[in-house]
């Protein structure tokens, strides 16, 4: 069969994009389709897939596991938050954790996942590890979905230079029948369904060899709440955590407060600018001098009592000038979509900015000084 395949094919196989990228893209597409929140990659090596997945906005928990600590550490810095993540925290929360350990061992940190990927992992497992793998992944971890990819040995005769296995560390390479029979028996045993597909299509006329990488997509048939799964499976930790990054998120009150305060200050400045421009153009119509404009801004300063000021804010959503200060009702600020999207409720807005932004005595308006504007007029 192998010889026959070689004889029939005279071209050179070149995958575009490269095969490993096609495997990662397959996972990214699956994530885009099913929107899992918790994803773990077993045999994550240098964490490239995890790094790609951190940009998928549905994911809130990412975990990697590998038996080789050094390979994980090589580029794990890519999984840390960037300055931009702090400057503009995302809506979602994201925690990325890397564990050093073997897929032959159970650890409670791998419970409750929606998707577990095992890309080009199983063919690296020793016989004893491969035996334990189904019980650990499908019996213990029991995620909603598992994706396993492995070389399809039927494709090997088309690969230049491959006489035995594709990699010296491979313990086996299966043809489609072997992989499918292994996968189907796992699916039956652990109550999963499985569908087979692959990446790296065969060249035209050689379709009978199948994909270069064969993939099994397993979906759990029974439903399980994370609470019962955790409750039923008390196990001691077997892995060592080697990396953990908690990304800044607006779900964290501290980052939400910073974002709201910045947005309120910015919005208040925009409103103030627009009000002062409006007043200025009104005065210019009547040929007032800058000094007169300034005095008009200030004129009410001494004659509007605190009660009147309160009344004015309460009566209207509109900002007004009193002396050197522009009063911008919080209701006005809350009507700006970015502010109300961030806060959700008016009460939350008030709570988050109290003590962080200068408010009128009754707390109903943001106070912004006009002093800088007046200086501009004078210059």
Q: For ligand SAM, which residue of 43, 112, 143, 200 counts as binding (CB under 6 A)?
A: 43
Q: Which residues contact 18 (CB under 8 A, 6 or more apart)?
A: none
| C-alpha closest to that of 299 among 307, 125, 291 | 291
Give least dist CB 28 to ligand SAM, A: 13
Q: At what angle do helices 290-298 and 371-378 cross, to 10 degrees?
A: 160
Judged by CB under 6 A, which stretch of 41-49, 253-261, 327-335, 363-371 contacts ligand SAM?
41-49
- Kind and range of the H or E element at 310? helix 306-315
Q: Does 212 bind ligand SAM (CB under 6 A)?
A: no
In angstroms, give the least distance from the CB of 36 to ligand SAM: 17
Q: Which is nearer to ligand SAM, 42 or 215 (CB)?
A: 42
Query: 154: number of CA atoms within 13 Å, CB side?
Result: 18
Taking phi over 0 as left and psi of -120 to 50 as alpha, with beta for the rest, 40 belongs to beta
Q: Are 264 and 339 spatial neighbours (Cβ–Cβ below 8 Å)?
A: yes
Distance between CA atoms of residues 183 and 326, nearest Å: 70
> Which residues are bridge partners to 192 per DSSP?
220
Q: Which is nearer to ligand SAM, 48 or 331 (CB)?
A: 48
Only segment of 65-73, 91-99, 224-232, 260-268 that touches ligand SAM (CB under 6 A)? 65-73
Q: Tell whether residue 336 is a contact of ligand SAM (CB under 6 A).
A: no
Site for ligand SAM in 128-167 (CB under 6 A): 129
Q: Between 23 and 332, name the residue whose CB sits nearer to ligand SAM.
A: 23
CB of 317 to ligand SAM, least distance (A): 57
Side by side, which strands form the sheet with 325-329?
Answer: 320-322, 325-329, 365-369
Residue nearest to ligand SAM (CB): 43
Candidates 58, 71, 162, 184; binder of ligand SAM (CB under 6 A) is 71
245 binds ligand SAM per the rule CB under 6 A: no
Is 20 a residue that touches ligand SAM (CB under 6 A)? Answer: yes
Task: Show contacts with ligand SAM in window 91-120 (CB under 6 A).
Answer: 102-104, 119-120
Query: Cβ 68 to ligand SAM, closest distance in Å?
Result: 4
- Taking CA 180 as the corner, what is the angle to CA 177 and CA 185, rounded to the nearest 5 degrees? 125
Could you tell me the smallest distance in angstroms from the CB atom of residue 87 to ligand SAM? 31
Choose among 365, 154, 64, 249: nearest CA to 357: 365
How many binding residues for ligand SAM (CB under 6 A)? Answer: 21
Q: Using CB under 6 A, which of the segments 50-58, 59-67, 288-296, 363-371 binds ligand SAM?
A: 59-67
Tokens encoding 135: 């019980």
Min dist. Cβ of residue 41 to ligand SAM (A): 6
Give the list of residues 6+ apart from residue 254 with CB closer than 8 angstroms, or none. none
Determine which helix (DSSP H) or strand (DSSP E) holds 325, and give its type and residue range: strand 325-329
Q: Mapping DSSP to helix (H, G, I), strand (E, B) and coil, where does residue 150 land?
A: strand
User: 3-state secondary structure string, 111-143?
Assistant: CCCCEEEEECCHHHCCHHHHHHHHHHHHHHHCC
CB of 115 to ligand SAM, least distance (A): 14
Q: Which is nearer to ligand SAM, 48 or 364 (CB)?
A: 48
Positions touching ligand SAM (CB under 6 A) are 20, 23, 42-45, 48, 65-68, 71, 102-104, 119-121, 124-125, 129
């Amino acid at each position: 069969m192998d010889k026959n395949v070689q004889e029939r094919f005279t071209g050179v196989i070149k995958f575009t994009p490269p095969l490993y990228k096609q495997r990662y893209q397959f996972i990214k597409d699956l994530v885009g389709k099913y929107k899992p929140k918790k994803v773990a990659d077993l045999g994550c090596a240098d964490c490239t897939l995890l790094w790609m997945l951190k940009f998928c906005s549905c994911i809130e928990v990412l975990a990697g596991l590998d038996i080789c600590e050094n390979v994980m550490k090589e580029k794990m810095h890519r999984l840390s938050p960037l300055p931009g993540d702090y400057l503009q925290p995302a809506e979602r929360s994201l925690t990325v954790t890397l564990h050093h350990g073997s897929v032959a061992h159970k650890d409670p940190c791998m419970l409750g996942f929606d998707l577990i990927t095992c890309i080009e992992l199983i063919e690296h497992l020793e016989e004893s590890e491969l035996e334990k793998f189904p019980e650990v992944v499908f019996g213990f971890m029991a995620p909603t979905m598992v994706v396993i990819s492995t070389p399809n040995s039927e494709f090997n005769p088309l690969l230049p230079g491959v006489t035995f296995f594709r990699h010296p560390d491979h313990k086996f390479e299966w043809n489609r029948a072997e992989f499918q029979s292994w996968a189907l028996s796992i699916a039956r045993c652990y109550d999963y369904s499985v569908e087979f597909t692959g990446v790296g299509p065969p060249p035209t006329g050689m379709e009978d060899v199948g994909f270069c990488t064969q993939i099994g997509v397993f979906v759990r048939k029974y439903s399980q709440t994370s609470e019962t799964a955790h409750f039923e499976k008390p196990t001691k930790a077997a892995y060592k955590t080697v990396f953990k990054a908690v990304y800044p998120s607006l779900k964290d009150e501290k980052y939400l407060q910073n974002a709201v305060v910045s947005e309120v200050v910015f919005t208040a400045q925009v409103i103030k600018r627009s009000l002062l421009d409006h007043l200025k153009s009104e005065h210019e119509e009547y040929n007032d001098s800058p000094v007169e404009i300034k005095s008009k801004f200030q004129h009410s300063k001494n004659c509007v009592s605190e009660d009147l000021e309160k009344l004015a804010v309460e009566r209207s959503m509109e900002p007004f000038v009193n002396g050197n200060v522009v009063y911008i009702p919080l209701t006005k600020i809350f009507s700006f979509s970015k502010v109300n999207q961030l806060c959700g409720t008016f009460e939350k807005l008030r709570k988050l900015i109290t003590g962080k932004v200068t408010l009128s005595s009754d707390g109903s308006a943001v106070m912004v000084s006009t002093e800088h504007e007046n200086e501009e007029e004078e210059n």
